[in-house]
Amino acid sequence: MSKKVICHKMDYGVGTITPVESQQSQQSKSWIGFPLNRTEGEKEPIKYGCEDHWTWNRHDRSHEVRLYGSGMRVAHFHPNWSSGTAGVRGTRILNNGRYYWEVQVSQRIFGTSMMFGIGTKKACLHKNVFTNLIGEDENSWGLSHKGLIWHRGLWVQYTIPFRENQATTVGILFDGVEGTLTFYKDNKCLGVAFRNLQQV
């Protein structure tokens, strides 16, 4: 079983995909970073932006991720068979600017956790188990295809689960000035997922 992800305008985001249902979690809303006063429905995350020529980082990825295509913008997760969780980091370092990128998932959505988000240089990019890799600790913040946002190994329901077996586009807006991370799905704003990221 394999997955292919095509990304555009990505700036130091982290992507992971794992295929088998096995994760159990504890729900908690008690740490800094979870949603407050979400604004849903916004259509244009960055009205006056410019194209950024990023690539997936071929040196900072799981051995289960193959990169190819124009500008290394296509990531193929678990090309043969999956026995764990794989991630890849982009080459753009996020700072106090505003960055928006989209991840196009061209194949069907299913499994333990297909995740989208950001992480520090310390964020893990491979596990030999099926897990929610982005957000498993204090080094990353992520959204799973099940509609959950993750940080420090804790989760909160953020949106409805993504429809299985359908292609989708996930937009990610990191605002380094405000310290927020906002997700979009198929051009619809899902609201602010995390706050206080300027303290990272």
- pLDDT of 194 strictly over 50: yes
Q: For the range 157-161, what are the long-range contacts, defined as Cβ-Cβ under 8 Å and sequence gap of 24 or more?
A: 157/27, 158/35, 158/183, 158/190, 158/191, 158/193, 159/183, 159/185, 159/190
**AA letter at 75:** A
β-partners of residue 101 are 172
Looking at residue 115, its pLDDT comes to 87
Q: SS3 string of 76-103? A: EECCCCCCCEEEEEECCCCCCCEEEEEE
| 1-5, 39-43, 49-53: range with highest mean pLDDT | 49-53
Which of 37-46, 102-111, 136-145, 188-197 has the weakest average pLDDT? 37-46
Tokens found for residue 167 = 């292609």
Question: Would you state the pLDDT for residue 68?
Answer: 82
| pLDDT tens-digit readout, 75-90 | 767 667 777 878 888 8
Tokens of 113: 């956790």
Which domains, from first to last, does the chain contain?
3-199 (2.60.120.920)
- Place 12 in a pLDDT band, splitting at 50, 70 and 90: very low
Residue pLDDT, tens place only, 139-166? 999 999 999 999 999 999 999 999 888 8
- For residue 193, pLDDT beyond 80: yes
Average pLDDT, the chain: 74
Average pLDDT on 20-47 reads 40
Compute the average pLDDT of residues 46-59: 74
Average pLDDT over residues 37-64: 67
Which of 24-38, 76-90, 179-193 ranks highest by mean pLDDT? Answer: 179-193
Q: Which residues, in sequence order, are CB contacts of 120 under 8 Å at separation 6+?
A: 139, 140, 200
Per-residue confidence (pLDDT) for residue 83, from 0 to 100: 78
Residue 170 has pLDDT above 60, yes or no: yes
